[in-house]
Amino acid sequence: MTSLNNDLVLRALLRQPTPRTPVWMMRQAGRHLPEYRATRAKAGSFLQLCTTPDYACEVTLQPLARYPLDAAILFSDILTIPHALGLGLEFEAGEGPRIHRPIRTPRDIDQLPHLDPDRDLRYVMDAVKLIRRELNGRVPLIGFAGSPWTVGTYVVEGGSSKTFDRIKAMLYGAPADLHRLLAHLTRATTDYLNAQILAGAQAVMIFDTWGGALAPSAYREFSLAYMTSIVRDLIKEQDGRRVPVILFTKGGGQWLAELAGSGADALGVDWTTDLSTARELVGDRVALQGNLDPSVLYAPPDVIRQEVGHVLASYGSGSGHVFNLGHGIHADVLPEHAAAMVAAVHELSPQYHDE
Amino acid sequence: MTSLNNDLVLRALLRQPTPRTPVWMMRQAGRHLPEYRATRAKAGSFLQLCTTPDYACEVTLQPLARYPLDAAILFSDILTIPHALGLGLEFEAGEGPRIHRPIRTPRDIDQLPHLDPDRDLRYVMDAVKLIRRELNGRVPLIGFAGSPWTVGTYVVEGGSSKTFDRIKAMLYGAPADLHRLLAHLTRATTDYLNAQILAGAQAVMIFDTWGGALAPSAYREFSLAYMTSIVRDLIKEQDGRRVPVILFTKGGGQWLAELAGSGADALGVDWTTDLSTARELVGDRVALQGNLDPSVLYAPPDVIRQEVGHVLASYGSGSGHVFNLGHGIHADVLPEHAAAMVAAVHELSPQYHDE
């Protein structure tokens, strides 16, 4: 493996000193970039883009050519696992994902196949290897997966949902069934992330996009417990280097103190919690990643700069902060505005670091 | 005015002793009831239902005939104010509300008319008076309005939104304009709630459904400050009795301690915060209303009973709790399940009260 020229993100995720705060953007490879839209048009569909390693590599690298970012994140989707489990994934234009054979009965759960990521999600591993080769040590590559609960919501609801009626009916009415489903997804997700690490992912992130829809005790039992199990079973070191794990429960600001005990190295924080508050809650147990409101990027560049300053000041001095948005960048944000955010982090963050 | 036979809700909202925990349900008059669907069909449209006092009265009383609830809540909508301001409100089937003339420019804000609730929202005041007459002192009537921020999101976005792009672009890019809009809505909302109180509402609730989408400092400046101003300017007493005010920021669990300083008598709490945690945060400053996950009502009655028990136990002993869902009841919940929830509160709550 080539050596890493810029390891700021890996160091910050492990709370090691860095000369400035590193920065990347959730969904940085995506629709806000005209070059992404061009590649997607070439690919024909979102699913083709995800499942073709050449395309996935191409769009993963696009934001790095535009912005001085400190990490690449694998271009993929949290629904690759249901796709590989044969549940019939489709992305309808403007409608979001659709699962054609959702899990609705105990028998559906029994019939879920075992997932072998190197066979069933080979296109992802091929993409990871290709991206690592093309990155050639410029910045680390972050792999990812959805949390079992979050992937479970799509698998049970059959697509996106506002109120998660079906899976919550299962949670409260047939909790043993839901536990069996989540255990299956947890095994698959653990194997999947480990395969990504073996293929070359240098950090991994678990997206718990819908954990925040749960009551606290349900969150603990049906989301946090399974993420904790994944973290425990992940490969800890690869090529002589620690592979940091980031957990991100959107809407989980109230549970940061508990999340800090999950074994993860870092926690994602959405914009509804000040990083100063988050840091008090987690102490020195984990690093924090976030948390500019993605909608700030609609404002003029001088306002963006000022709001970046507020986020940096809220975290304050010392290591352990990776700058990011509090959720994915919106599709209609101007690239110049994203550039203004990245530039502001480069310019304003060194004052918070001693090194 | 007739005397009130059941004033448990009013007492609990003021943290006065009651022999059991009172209970009502957000959106109790609504689509989950077949009799509501029949009246709505008769009315022709949702807007006709809201604007015709006889219909509004009829559906307000329907849940009281089915369940032993401790309060009626005015059947209306948080968008009556934009409707009265002439912005063109329509409810499209399955699409949610649409505002035909949304606020997009400073000139749109300048041209907003002054609202005279007794003239422009007379149908609401007529409904309040009619409901009070028909209730005849059985239980108190709760009036309500949307928070300025929440109503503002519809008025600026032109309808429902997931990410609030337009109003957040205004918030970060032209905050003075947004403040002018919110100040106008605040004046209208204050006058509107005071008119409801004078017409007979015995408590009022402010629904801040979308405050939780904001970063903490933006929440303070663009939502909480305006709600605090409304609370300050509300009529405090009517017919010799205190008129309690309830504030409810959905997704506002992290800000309960700050909300407790707003001057409100009680805070609504959604299901993502345990009431034990909420009570620690607010101390003895306010009562709490909530907070069963509405999706629990999809579970069998014995599970509903058990989860009601958890909510009651989480609040613990003493006065100051009004049992409710953490958000409106879902349209596809069986009335028998709502009945099981109400019965469980009656049965299980006396042990937490001395009186």
Contact A299 B173 (CB under 8 A): yes
Domain that holds residue B168: 8-352
Does residue B355 surpass a pLDDT of 70? Answer: no
For residues A127 and A74, what is the distance between their CA atoms, to the nearest angstrom? 8
Q: How confident is the model at residue A2 (pLDDT cuts 50, 70, 90)?
A: low
Burial of B46 (0-12, 13-18, 19+ CB in 10 A): middle
For chain B, give the mean pLDDT.
96
**What are the chain B neighbours of A219 within 8 Å (beta carbons)?**
272
* Catalytic residue, candidates A7, A70, A77, A120: A77
For residues B235 and B101, what is the distance between their CA atoms, to the nearest angstrom? 32
Residue B191 lies in a domain: yes
For residue A109, the distance in angstroms to the closest alpha carbon of chain B comes to 20
Burial of B131 (0-12, 13-18, 19+ CB in 10 A): buried
To the query of whether residue B104 is one of the catalytic residues in this protein, the response is: no
Q: Is A81 helix (H, G, I), strand (E, B) or coil?
A: helix
For residues A342 and A348, what is the distance between their CA atoms, to the nearest angstrom? 10
Does residue B12 surpass a pLDDT of 90? Answer: yes
**What are the chain A neighbours of B295 within 8 Å (beta carbons)?**
163-165, 168-169, 171-172
Residues A328, A334, A337, A338, Cα dihedral to 10°: 40
φ/ψ (deg, to 5) at B325: -75, 165
Contact B298 A251 (CB under 8 A): no
Does residue A62 surpass a pLDDT of 60? Answer: yes
The 10s digit of each residue's pLDDT in B158-212 is 999 988 999 999 999 999 999 999 999 999 999 999 999 999 999 999 999 999 9
For residues B46 and B48, what is the distance between their CA atoms, to the nearest angstrom? 5
- Cis bond upstream, residue A194 (ω within 30): no
For residues A131 and B265, what is the distance between their CA atoms, to the nearest angstrom? 57
Interface of A with B (CB under 8 A): 163-165, 168-169, 171-173, 212-219, 251, 253-254, 271-274, 277, 293-296, 298-300, 303, 307, 310, 326, 330, 332
Burial of A183 (0-12, 13-18, 19+ CB in 10 A): middle
The 10s digit of each residue's pLDDT in A22-42 is 999 999 999 999 999 999 999
The 10s digit of each residue's pLDDT in B59-118 is 999 999 999 999 999 999 999 999 999 999 999 877 789 999 999 999 999 999 999 999
Using CB atoms, pick whichever of B172, B277, B299 lies closest to residue A296: B172
For residues A193 and A264, what is the distance between their CA atoms, to the nearest angstrom? 14
What average pLDDT does this structure show over A219-232?
A: 98
Query: Residue B36 corresponds to which tokens in the numbers above?
Result: 């509501």
* Overall domain count for chain B: 1
Does residue B1 surpass a pLDDT of 60? Answer: no
Contact A168 B293 (CB under 8 A): yes
A90's CB contacts (< 8 A; 6+ apart) are A47, A97, A98, A100
The 10s digit of each residue's pLDDT in B128-152 is 999 999 999 999 999 999 999 999 9
CB count, 10 Å around CB of A119? 10
Q: How far apart are the first and last CA of chain B?
A: 27
**Looking at this protein, which amino acid is placed at residue B39?**
T
Size of interface A-B (CB pairs under 8 A): 98
**Closest residue of B to A272, CA-based?**
B215
For residues B235 and B120, what is the distance between their CA atoms, to the nearest angstrom? 20
What average pLDDT does this structure show over A219-242?
A: 97
**Looking at this protein, which amino acid is placed at residue B230?**
I
Q: Write down the H helix ranges in B200-321.
A: 216-219, 225-233, 256-259, 275-282, 301-315
For residue A117, the distance in angstroms to the closest alpha carbon of chain B comes to 34
Residue A343 lies in a domain: no
**What are the chain B neighbours of A173 within 8 Å (beta carbons)?**
298-300, 303
Instruction: Classify each residue of A298-314 as buried b or exposed e, where b means 16 or more C-beta atoms within 10 Å of its C-beta.
Output: bbebebbbebbeebbeb
* Catalytic residue, candidates A11, A20, A40, A279: A40
Q: Best mutation site among B104, B172, B210 for testing chain A: the one with the most A CBs within 10 Å?
A: B172
Q: What is the pLDDT of residue A103?
A: 97
Q: How confident is the model at residue A93 (pLDDT cuts 50, 70, 90)?
A: confident
**What are the chain B neighbours of A330 within 8 Å (beta carbons)?**
163, 165
**Closest residue of A to B170, CA-based?**
A299
Burial of A284 (0-12, 13-18, 19+ CB in 10 A): exposed
Q: How confident is the model at residue B220 (pLDDT cuts 50, 70, 90)?
A: very high
Residue A281 lies in a domain: no
Contact A215 B293 (CB under 8 A): yes
* Catalytic residue, candidates B15, B40, B132, B279: B40
**With contact defined as beta carbons under 8 Å apart, do B295 and B330 qualify?**
yes
Closest by CA to B193, choosing from B81, B87, B101, B86, is B81
CATH of the domain at B240: 3.20.20.210
Burial of B211 (0-12, 13-18, 19+ CB in 10 A): buried
For residue A45, the distance in angstroms to the closest alpha carbon of chain B comes to 24
In the numeric block, the tokens 């609040």 are attached to: B315
For residues A61 and A215, what is the distance between their CA atoms, to the nearest angstrom? 39
- DSSP code string of A297-338: GGS-HHHHHHHHHHHHHHH-SSS-EEEEESSPPPTT--HHHH
Does residue A66 surpass a pLDDT of 90? Answer: yes
Percentage of chain B modeled with pLDDT above 70: 99
Does residue B36 surpass a pLDDT of 70? Answer: yes
For residues A338 and B124, what is the distance between their CA atoms, to the nearest angstrom? 47
Q: How confident is the model at residue B3 (pLDDT cuts 50, 70, 90)?
A: confident
Does residue A355 surpass a pLDDT of 70? Answer: no
ipTM strictly over 0.85?
yes
Contact A254 B251 (CB under 8 A): no
To the query of whether residue B107 is one of the catalytic residues in this protein, the response is: no
For residues B111 and B243, what is the distance between their CA atoms, to the nearest angstrom? 33
Residue A164 lies in a domain: yes
- How many angstroms separate the most distant Cα atoms in chain B? 58
Residue A251 lies in a domain: no
Contact B295 A253 (CB under 8 A): no
What average pLDDT does this structure show over A146-168?
A: 95
Contact B295 A164 (CB under 8 A): yes
Query: Residue B60 corresponds to which tokens in the numbers above?
Result: 């307000």
Contact A300 B173 (CB under 8 A): yes
To the query of whether residue A40 is one of the catalytic residues in this protein, the response is: yes
For residues B217 and B160, what is the distance between their CA atoms, to the nearest angstrom? 23
Q: What is the pLDDT of residue A94?
A: 72
